[in-house]
Structure 1
Amino acid sequence: MKKVCLAAPHLYEERNEKITLDRFLNGEQAGDLEIVKFEKELSSYVGTRKALVLSSGTVAIRLALKSLGVKSGDVVFWSSITYPPSCQAILSLGATPVFIDIDPLTWGMCPQSLRLAFQQLKEKGQRPRAVVVVNLYGQSADMDPILEICHEYGVPVLEEAAESLGATYKGRMSGTLGAVGIYSFNKNKIITTLFGGGALISNDPSYVDKARDCLSENRNDLMSPIAASIGRRQLEVLAKRLERKKEIYETYRRAFKEIGEIEMMNICDYGHSNYWLSVMTVKRGSVVTSKEIMEKLKSHHIESRLVWKPMHFQPDFSDFPFFTIQEGTSIAEDYANRGICLPSDTQMTQGEQDRVVNIVKQLFINSK
């Protein structure tokens, strides 16, 4: 039986083309040209002045932090739900992370919790060097109130848009609203450069130039010409990927609408999500738990995943401060306990998605 995957972008489903090494046998100059073209085409697509393509999104985060001047002893505010290795960058710089709860509607950083963190640090005579806002599962955080608070305190924003390439916020591309933004082209993202990959973007060229200067420390952080060439072709099919991802989400939303215990991740009307992963939550008090749903899907060779475990519960980060306006529990913890990332592969057939839906529905029917 074919395994139904969570998210596994295919390189050329819309065109019959094969990348070979032949095109790179004319020397380093030809390879460099592929990188330059990818950077220009990415900048043009998202509407920024400059881009720097790199070996991974994690590298992009580390260089973005450096470009913002983060150094040993600094404090950085960070959304608590994110991909854990991303936060290792801050430890490698000797800085201290302070984690901020998420908003229940946007799944992005909670502005009220962010303001609380600013106020409490101000009372201690401290101020963060930067704020890292994570656009979770393909949707932009509500950036206006976040940017307003950060501007008030004179602190730049790093927009961690690893999962949200192609999404928008009030007419602007996700990743372009902060001082600097990053994307990931890992093999499970909405487009991939196959060998990993990431990018740093900014409307202020000085940030990109500072990051590029840091590359002299480790040339392995550069994106390879082959990866850049693949990335260029992937940009050409991104629009169709976005359409397909939305179709997958809407199919789940319609199918589960009749099940009162299930809620799909809210999509805010201030922009467009890229629907990277279709995420559902099981309501509190449901007789069917999120783990039971995952176990049932696994028994049918269907891949799913829990929502990221909040960073303030991770062993490497549990001793660092966390701010929330919630009493008793945090939104991040609550969603991590009740959330499931459903199969969202763009190559998933309608029959395969129907099978996922029917298995989940049957669990709730049998529980009554």
Structure 2
Amino acid sequence: MPDTNVAPPIAFIDLDAQRRAIGPRMEEAILKVVRSCRFILGPEVAQLEAELSAFAGVPHTLSCANGTDALALALMAWEIRPGDAVLCPSFTFAATAEVVAWLGATPVFVDVREDSFNMDPASLEAGIETAKRMGLRPRAVITVDLFGQPADYDALLPIARAHALKVLVDAAQSFGATHHGKHVAAIGDMAATSFFPAKPLGCYGDGGAVFCHDPETLDVLQSLRVHGQNNEDKYENIRVGMNGRLDTVQAAVLLEKLRVFPAEIEARQTVAARYNAALADVAIVPTVAPHNVSVWAQYTLRTPGRDRTAVLAGLKARGIPTAIYYPKPLHHQKAYAKHPVAGNGLPVSERLAGEVFALPFHPYLDETTQDRIISAVRDVLA
């Protein structure tokens, strides 16, 4: 007979719990698209764009195929090109720098702060000077709201303005977060997000969006999204673009998920607060600036001086899944090692890459499961 005392496995992000909570409405929304056969740019796409704009307080939203395309579309609209420098953090996912390299421009890597994992304003200043010394044209900065918390825009925006840099907010992990009550998608010159399934607001495949403030930029983005077409004549191509459309099924999924998103953001605060209260005496827990609201895309701990491999092995033995975001900063990755770094190096990014690990986290994580995770972490770190 099976052992009924064995604890059930824990999902790192339990997407099925959300699916069960949403229920038949989601299935009906998908079937509606299937029945309509309007699979590309159907009416749900325009509806989603309008509702995302209303939610985020941004005049214009353009949906697209994924978060990487969203970043690329923004840079393409600004005509970023070879000889340009785009400042971005090294402690992040590769897509942030990848889109810069796609366009032949140069990513200049900047360090982050230990307390927030986000871009260090002093390192941004150093990175701008590094770019100028190399004969590059500093054109833009891609801030990354890592793990769901907005970056230090009070410090970063004035630096960008002083150097005439465009600001692209990489909100792939932070859509729904706020800075001084303002949604992150409304900060900067443009913002981009991802709807990858594991994101706080995720679809059932790939998806993304770009947010902008004026109709002229939106017109360019719409053209770029569909092969650089003339928006009045799709068979006249007036610029080089991409095939970056969001399909209608994913738009329908996101519309249903957007209905429960505010409640999920609140639930994320509750789970994070409970983790912090229980683990602050055994590890360095994440902190959120008083003027910020994080959407907690990941819950990341640090245990300096501990053997992380042994810690993760101990948690695995107790049935607790973990993940490392990110084990190697971009300036140490083979694909990006040739690109410049700010100042004399990026010591914080390098140190964090060797310390961080993330625990299971999602808005449907019940207290019984939280307690099991907390107990295991405390046991391993005792």
TM-score (norm 2): 0.88
Aligned match for 1:165, one of 172, 175, 178: 175
**2:295 maps to 1:274:** yes
Q: 1:290: how far off?
A: 2.5
Rounded to whole Å, the distance in 2 between the matches of 1:325 and 1:14 is: 50
**2:321 maps to 1:321:** no
In angstroms, what is the RMSD of aligned CA positions? 2.1
Q: 1:253: how far off?
A: 0.7
* Equivalent pair of 2:85/2:106 in contact (CA under 8 Å): yes
Match of 2:355 in 1: 338
SS of structure 1 residue aligned to 2:379: helix
> Sequence identity, in percent?
25
Aligned match for 1:111, one of 106, 109, 121: 121
Quick one: structure 1 residues 176 and 101, their matched pair in 2 at CA, closer, same or farther if it must change by over 3 Å?
same
Matches within 5 A, 1:82-161: 82-161=92-171
Q: 1:147: how far off?
A: 1.0
SS of structure 2 residue aligned to 1:263: coil
Aligned length: 358
Quick one: structure 1 residues 123 and 313, their matched pair in 2 at CA, closer, same or farther if it must change by over 3 Å?
closer
Rounded to whole Å, the distance in 2 between the matches of 1:209 and 1:294 is: 48
SS of structure 2 residue aligned to 1:280: strand
**2:378 maps to 1:361:** yes
Aligned match for 1:238, one of 244, 248, 261: 261
Quick one: structure 1 residues 158 and 219, their matched pair in 2 at CA, closer, same or farther if it must change by over 3 Å?
closer
Q: What is the letter of the counterpart of residue 46 of structure 1? A: A
SS of structure 2 residue aligned to 1:164: coil
Higher mean displacement: 147-156 or 83-92 = 83-92
Quick one: structure 1 residues 258 and 110, their matched pair in 2 at CA, closer, same or farther if it must change by over 3 Å?
closer
SS of structure 2 residue aligned to 1:323: coil
Q: What is the letter of the counterpart of residue 291 of structure 2? A: Y
Unaligned runs of 5+ in 2: 1-6, 228-240
SS of structure 2 residue aligned to 1:133: strand
Matches within 5 A, 1:28-107: 28=38, 32-107=42-117
Quick one: structure 1 residues 144 and 361, their matched pair in 2 at CA, closer, same or farther if it must change by over 3 Å?
same
Match of 2:231 in 1: none
Q: 1:20: how far off?
A: 3.4
Q: Deviations over 1:232-258 (max 9, x none)?
A: 111111111112211221111111133
Aligned match for 1:347, one of 327, 347, 364: 364
Q: What is the letter of the counterpart of residue 367 of structure 2? A: Q
**2:277 maps to 1:254:** yes
Match of 1:303 in 2: 321
Aligned match for 2:308, one of 287, 290, 299: 290
Aligned match for 1:13, one of 13, 21, 35: 21
Q: What is the letter of the counterpart of residue 292 of structure 2? A: G
Q: Deviations over 1:111-166 (max 9, x none)?
A: 00111122233345533221110000000000122111111111101100000011
* Equivalent pair of 1:184/1:197 in contact (CA under 8 Å): yes
SS of structure 1 residue aligned to 2:284: strand
Rounded to whole Å, the distance in 2 between the matches of 1:347 and 1:92 is: 38
* Equivalent pair of 2:322/2:360 in contact (CA under 8 Å): yes
Higher mean displacement: 29-38 or 267-276 = 29-38
Rounded to whole Å, the distance in 2 between the matches of 1:58 and 1:143 is: 22
Q: 1:71: how far off?
A: 1.8
* Equivalent pair of 2:88/2:96 in contact (CA under 8 Å): no
Rounded to whole Å, the distance in 1 between the matches of 2:139 and 2:370 is: 45
Rounded to whole Å, the distance in 2 between the matches of 1:216 and 1:258 is: 52
SS of structure 2 residue aligned to 1:166: coil
Q: Deviations over 1:24-45 (max 9, x none)?
A: 4335399621000000000000
Higher mean displacement: 44-53 or 201-210 = 201-210
* Equivalent pair of 1:139/1:164 in contact (CA under 8 Å): yes
